[in-house]
Amino acid sequence: MRHGDFELFRSKAIGTYLDRMFPGPRLIPEDARNAALAEQWVSAVNTVIDRTMVRTYLFSYIFPKTADGKPDRKAIDG
Please write the tens of the pLDDT for every residue from 25-49: 999 999 999 999 999 999 898 888 8
Decide: 17 and 8 in contact? Cβ < 8 Å: yes
Distance CA 23, CA 31 (A): 17
pLDDT in tens, 1-33: 999 999 999 888 998 999 999 999 999 999 999
Distance CA 57, CA 46 (A): 15
Which run of H or E residues covers position 7? strand 6-7
Q: What is the pTM of this model?
A: 0.61
